[in-house]
Amino acid sequence: MKLPHPNDQNHWLRELLDHPNPSNWDEITNVLQHFSAKKRRFSVQEQADYGQFFGKGAAFITFSYGIDGVSIEISKYAHALENLFSRLGTYSIHLIGESFQPETSSIFGADWHQFRLAGVDGWDKWDGGIWFNALFRKKIRSRSKRSRCLAEEIYIQAISIADRLGKYLIENRISLLIPVNVASNPGNLAATLGIVLATEALGIYVLNNNHDFYWEGGKSLAERDPGEVPGVRDHFFRNIKNRSLFKLISLLYPWNGKRWLQVNINARQSRKLIQKYNFPKDKVFEISTSISDQFLESYNLDDTKHARVRMAHILSNGKAIMHSISVDGHIERLDQWMKNQTPCIVGSHSELTVDPRSEDLIILLQPTRIVGRKRIAKNVAFIEALLTKSRLRADFENNPFRQIVLHISGPTPIEHKADLIQVLRAYQKTVNSLPEFIAPRFLMAFSTGHDQHASFSEHNFSPMSIEDIYRMANLVVFPSSTEGRGLPIIEASAMGIPIVCSRYQPKEVFEDVIGKHLPTELQIQYIHFPERKFSQAFLSEVASVLLDSTIQKKYRTYNRRAVKSRYSRGSFNTKFEGLLEHLGKLD
């Protein structure tokens, strides 16, 4: 393996920064090809052990960090590297992104370095959404003045990012960069271009981790069959007729660099990269996920209540008993709420109370952010059907203390505000139509990724971990339409919590997660979330799961055993070790 000398790297970065600015998309492509084709004479330090080589400086880069699927997976990857590098000597792990939510302290190592790189956040957080809208929500005619101006602007941003990123990589002797989902979806074209230019100029080794690609759930109008439902990522193809722009997008997502390996989260993605996009087989890999030992620990009713009590303090501003705000008032003030997304519990009226210690409380957990493809509004219709057409109706009639809460744990990205409105409107309509003795006892909780409250110190509470979030739940609901993996299925199963989930697309990915083609003892047992009507058999099955402890125990025992066999940390760490060894042989 070859590590360029910092003096050489500074020279190559200067060469990149001094290169004449291109004036259109084709010229940007030419710059990329120019720097990737250059053969440099390395001033090298030989290092036989890849672990010591990469351990001196390994960095992750993504748009931003919070309590979301990508950040949680980055935490797992970083812990795997930490485990590997710590056995081989000193190590240094870095996290690079535009912002870091305070809640990430619960999943990231205290000694991991954090570098805020302005300008790399994605979608509507990329400079207020100006450039994402311009590229993917408006038409851009080929060879137009607007197209040329956009190309010039994107390149200027990319060079600024490459400059600041490159200097950080050099100063911290970083030899391994792991972009996570930034070279999979064009959420920020300038950021990806900057990353590619910097790594090519500096000779950095790259493990490019892809969670979902822009072509998964997206296609152009010309490719769409008559009557076919639009995909969730169709907007990325809006300007496919601008061939110069789309050629650049196709080159960057993902970039096939000399020192780049593609690391996908499912085999379907790998096949497409090889068969359709002509990536070499020896540069395309998959990596699964892992489950912490804490997920597999036994817990009891007291542990569940303790998790719920801590969450109550988060949802009700330090109070032990939760107090609702009305859905009508919440919708009216939603613009203001979106700015800080303070955790809250929403009810048909204000000042409804929920005691987290009550054994009559049922919590259905959707452990995701609020985005359209998660189809959270379907949960509202599902709960309405449970409360009116299953034995849960009689249970509510006979037990005046029974309550049910739909808890969504993640935040709402600003570009998905309309999806949140859809969820709230569905809830508003439902509680207005439910019988008066039931409506006030169906509530919705939004913890928006928060894992603690200032009041925790008064009670010696520890922050809520991901495992604690799951421990609160009687049932996990996951009616998503598309997924790159479907982590909530694995996590709920590891906790032994029954899960109701859709058979999302791609079908092959869903079947891989549940282990359809594996021996029975390795398959995850789930309840299928219907696409259309909720049958009586389905509602009866769910009601039995919620009210019958014997059935709950069956899921806990069976699914935990399957997940433990398939997603242990040991096999995950071994996989990472193999990836680094392969990466080190690319020269």
pLDDT tens figures, 212-222: 999 998 888 88
Check the CA dihedral 56-61-67-70 and report its sign: negative
Q: Are residues 280 and 305 in the same domain?
A: no
The whole-number pLDDT of residue 11 equals: 77
pLDDT tens figures, 302-321: 999 999 999 999 999 999 99
Instruction: Report how far residue 111's alpha carbon sits from residue 193's, in angstroms, rounded to the nearest whole number.
Output: 29
Q: Are residues 579 and 560 in the same domain?
A: no
Q: What is the CA radius of gyration of the chain?
A: 25
In a domain, 210, yes or no: yes
Q: Are residues 302 and 438 in the same domain?
A: yes
Other CB atoms within 10 A of residue 574 CB:
13
Instruction: Report how far residue 297's alpha carbon sits from residue 470's, in angstroms, rounded to the nearest whole number.
Output: 12
pLDDT-above-70 percentage for the chain: 97
pLDDT tens figures, 504-546: 988 999 999 999 999 999 999 999 999 989 999 999 999 999 9
Q: Convert 303-319 into a string of H (helix), E (strand) and C (coil).
A: HHHHHHHHHHHHHCCCC
Q: Are residues 561 and 577 in the same domain?
A: no
Cβ proximity of 514 and 527 under 8 Å: no
Residue that wins the pLDDT comparison between 30 and 41 = 30
Q: Are residues 314 and 278 in the same domain?
A: no
Q: Which domain holds residue 159?
A: 2-19+36-124+153-235+251-290+571-583
Q: Are residues 392 and 446 in the same domain?
A: yes
Instruction: Using pLDDT thresholds of 50, 70 and 90, give the confidence band for residue 42.
Output: very low
Residues in the chain, total = 587
In a domain, 323, yes or no: yes
Residue that wins the pLDDT comparison between 8 and 335 = 335
Over residues 263-276, mean pLDDT: 94
Out of 188-197, 469-478, 551-560, least confident range = 551-560
The whole-number pLDDT of residue 469 equals: 96
* Sequence letter at residue 15: E
Pairing mode, strands 442-446 and 475-478: unpaired
Q: Are residues 79 and 218 in the same domain?
A: yes
The whole-number pLDDT of residue 52 equals: 80
Q: Are residues 419 and 527 in the same domain?
A: yes
In a domain, 148, yes or no: no
Say whether pLDDT at 4 is over 80.
no
Out of 74-83, 377-386, 399-408, least confident range = 74-83
Other CB atoms within 10 A of residue 228 CB:
9
pLDDT-above-90 percentage for the chain: 74
Cβ proximity of 320 and 313 under 8 Å: yes
The whole-number pLDDT of residue 40 equals: 52
In a domain, 137, yes or no: no
Averaged pLDDT of the chain:
92
Cβ proximity of 423 and 380 under 8 Å: yes
Over residues 47-72, mean pLDDT: 85
Q: ∠ at Cα 449 (575, 335), nearest 5°?
A: 135
Instruction: Report how far residue 356's alpha carbon sits from residue 379's, in angstroms, rounded to the nearest whole number.
Output: 21
Joined together, the tokens standing for residue 180 give 């996570």
Instruction: Report how far residue 474's alpha carbon sits from residue 547's, in angstroms, rounded to the nearest whole number.
Output: 9
pLDDT tens figures, 354-368: 999 999 999 999 999
Q: Are residues 165 and 54 in the same domain?
A: yes
Instruction: Report how far residue 507's alpha carbon sits from residue 489's, in angstroms, rounded to the nearest whole number.
Output: 14
Instruction: Report how far residue 318's alpha carbon sits from residue 328's, in angstroms, rounded to the nearest whole number.
Output: 23
Say whether pLDDT at 249 is over 80.
yes
Say whether pLDDT at 45 is over 60.
no
pLDDT tens figures, 455-510: 999 999 999 999 999 999 999 999 999 898 899 999 999 999 999 999 998 899 99
Residue that wins the pLDDT comparison between 7 and 405 = 405
In a domain, 434, yes or no: yes
Instruction: Report how far residue 422's alpha carbon sits from residue 373's, in angstroms, rounded to the nearest whole number.
Output: 12
Instruction: Using pLDDT thresholds of 50, 70 and 90, give the confidence band for residue 39.
Output: low
**How many domains are contained in the chain?**
2
Instruction: Using pLDDT thresholds of 50, 70 and 90, give the confidence band for residue 41.
Output: very low
Nearest alpha carbon to residue 376 among 403, 404, 344, 408: 408
Q: Are residues 469 and 502 in the same domain?
A: yes
In a domain, 427, yes or no: yes
The whole-number pLDDT of residue 98 equals: 97
Q: Are residues 286 and 308 in the same domain?
A: no
Q: Are residues 200 and 349 in the same domain?
A: no
In a domain, 357, yes or no: yes
pLDDT tens figures, 109-163: 999 999 999 999 999 999 999 999 999 999 999 999 999 999 999 999 999 999 9
Instruction: Report how far residue 460's alpha carbon sits from residue 305's, in angstroms, rounded to the nearest whole number.
Output: 16
Beta bridge partners of 178: 60
CATH of the domain at 531: 3.40.50.2000
In a domain, 140, yes or no: no
